[in-house]
């Protein structure tokens, strides 16, 4: 009898203790939550976060606490934590239209691309006026799903007609499919909307270069440099070629010589300058540059062959034929060029 009474007393004590602990946890969560709101009101975001985290440690299933905690993470750019907390809030059916918008942003910026279409649809459901096609189209573009990207981005352009990146991504989608003529109007539209993007201008110049529109290639490559595009060796090479293709030998060679000042043994640039002089009938200048090629590569049969061709063009036919024959001995494949009277590499 004594044993039973003791058991009943202990059980009652346990129930009372549990109830008191529950009340304590709830009170502590509320106190920390209220303190977090106070700090948030004062603009002390880091301090408010500490209190919201503490409140969540006492009560992790409270919507208000979870919502404030997610917003605090977001405001402090703790994006992975914000994502996880908003995800938890969603499971509580606690997301608002603004929260869905944040989840859409986070899904894209954290490269959770598979989540983007779903959150776009959810946001559109709770807020029909929401503009979501930009994000969905950008995901399709990032995933190289160009057909779907073009379709969705064209809708995005109607929603947000001032964003230059939208026509730019359409342009790149067409360009990546090597549909160069189709991409040009979109590149132009992108450049019109955002005049600061020198790289977009440069890309358009290269597109024109690819379709052999030398006048426009030169125009846009030059424009890119004027807009601050970095004049590295690749840029200078393309600019120099654009000048040469447009018939401006002097300016083209001048640009290519800028590269040679940095890379004096660049055989590709030396050959390019030599071929440009040759095409303009400036035989001696062409020979001088092929001589430089031979200084760096004495076994370069193509350069020797072209020096022989230059001598023949200058009227020294015997000497030129002798050099061409020597080059053919070094590289028998050049014999075919002799029969066709072509330059090495000519089409």
DSSP assignment of 68-131 equals HHHHHHHHTT-HHHHHHHHHHHHHTT---HHHHHHHHHHHHHTT-GGGHHHHHHHHHHH-TT--
Nearest in space to 23 (alpha carbons), one of 48, 52, 59: 59
**Which CATH superfamily, name and number, covers 282-347?**
Tetratricopeptide repeat domain (1.25.40.10)
With 0-12 CB in 10 A as exposed, 13-18 as middle and 19+ as buried, what is 37? Answer: middle
Q: What is the pLDDT of residues 230-257, one digit of tens each?
A: 999 999 999 999 999 999 999 999 999 9
Helix/strand/coil for 165: helix
Give every CB contact of residue 77 below 8 A, 6+ residues apart in sequence.
none
pLDDT for res 335: 84
Q: What is the pLDDT of residues 103-114, one digit of tens each?
A: 999 999 999 999
Q: Residues 89-116: what's their mean pLDDT?
A: 93
Give every CB contact of residue 275 below 8 A, 6+ residues apart in sequence.
286, 343
pLDDT for res 8: 42
DSSP class of 179: -
Q: What is the pLDDT of residues 10-62, one digit of tens each?
A: 444 444 444 444 446 588 899 999 999 999 999 999 999 999 999 999 999 99
- Take residue 59 and report the two structure tokens written for it: 């009560």
pLDDT for res 346: 44
CA–CA distance, 240 with 252 (Å, rounded to integer):
4
Query: Mean pLDDT in the chain?
Result: 90
Using a pLDDT cut of 70, give the percent of the chain over it.
90
pLDDT for res 13: 42
The answer to whether domain 32-130 has CATH 2.60.40.1120 is no
Query: What are the b/e assignments for 83-94, b being 16+ CB within 10 Å?
Result: bebbebbbeeeb
Flag whether pLDDT at 133 surpasses 70.
Answer: yes
Written as one string, the DSSP assignment of 212-236 is T-HHHHHHHHHHHHHTT----HHHH
Q: Taking the mean position of all CA atoms in its chain, how far away is CA 58?
A: 44
Q: Do 32-130 and 282-347 fold alike per CATH?
A: yes
CA–CA distance, 62 with 56 (Å, rounded to integer):
8
pLDDT for res 26: 80
Nearest in space to 173 (alpha carbons), one of 161, 164, 162, 182: 182
Cα-based distances in Å from 171 to 141, 149, 204, 215 = 11, 11, 9, 20
Number of residues assigned to the chain? 347
pLDDT tier at 343 (50, 70, 90 boundaries)? Answer: low
Give every CB contact of residue 159 below 8 A, 6+ residues apart in sequence.
131, 133, 134
* Domain coordinates in residue numbering, the chain: 32-130, 282-347
CA–CA distance, 119 with 100 (Å, rounded to integer):
7
pLDDT tier at 7 (50, 70, 90 boundaries)? Answer: very low
DSSP class of 248: -
Flag whether pLDDT at 286 surpasses 90.
Answer: yes
Least confident of 158-162, 200-204, 334-338: 334-338
């Amino acid at each position: 009898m004594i044993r039973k009474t003791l058991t009943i007393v202990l059980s009652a004590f346990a129930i009372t203790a549990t109830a008191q602990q529950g009340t304590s946890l709830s009170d502590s969560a509320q106190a920390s939550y209220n303190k977090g709101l106070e700090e948030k009101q004062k603009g002390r975001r880091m301090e408010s976060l500490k209190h919201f985290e503490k409140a969540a440690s006492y009560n992790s299933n409270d919507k208000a606490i979870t919502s404030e905690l997610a917003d605090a993470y977001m405001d402090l750019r703790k994006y992975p934590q914000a994502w996880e907390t908003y995800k938890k809030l969603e499971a509580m059916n606690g997301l608002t239209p603004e929260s869905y918008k944040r989840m859409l942003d986070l899904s894209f910026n954290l490269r959770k691309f598979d989540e983007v279409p779903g959150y776009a649809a959810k946001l559109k459901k709770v807020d029909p006026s929401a503009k979501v096609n930009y994000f969905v189209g950008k995901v399709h573009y990032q995933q190289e799903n160009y057909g779907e990207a073009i379709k969705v981005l064209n809708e995005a352009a109607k929603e947000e007609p001032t964003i230059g990146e939208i026509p730019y991504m359409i342009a790149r989608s067409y360009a990546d499919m090597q549909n160069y003529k189709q991409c040009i109007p979109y590149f132009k539209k992108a450049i019109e909307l955002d005049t600061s993007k020198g790289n977009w201008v440069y890309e358009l110049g290269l597109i024109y270069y690819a379709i052999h529109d030398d006048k426009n290639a030169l125009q846009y490559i030059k424009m890119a440099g004027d807009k601050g595009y970095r004049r590295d060796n690749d840029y200078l090479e393309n600019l120099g070629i654009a000048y040469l293709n447009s018939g401006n030998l002097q300016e083209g060679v001048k640009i290519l010589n800028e590269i040679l000042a940095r890379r004096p043994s660049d055989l590709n640039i030396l050959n390019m300058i030599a071929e440009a002089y040759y095409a303009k009938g400036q035989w001696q200048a062409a020979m001088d540059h092929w001589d430089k090629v031979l200084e760096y590569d004495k076994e370069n049969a193509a350069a020797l062959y072209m020096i022989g061709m230059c001598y023949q063009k200058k009227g020294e036919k015997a000497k030129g034929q002798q050099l061409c024959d020597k080059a053919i001995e070094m590289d028998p494949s050049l014999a075919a060029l002799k029969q066709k009277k072509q330059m090495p590499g000519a089409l």
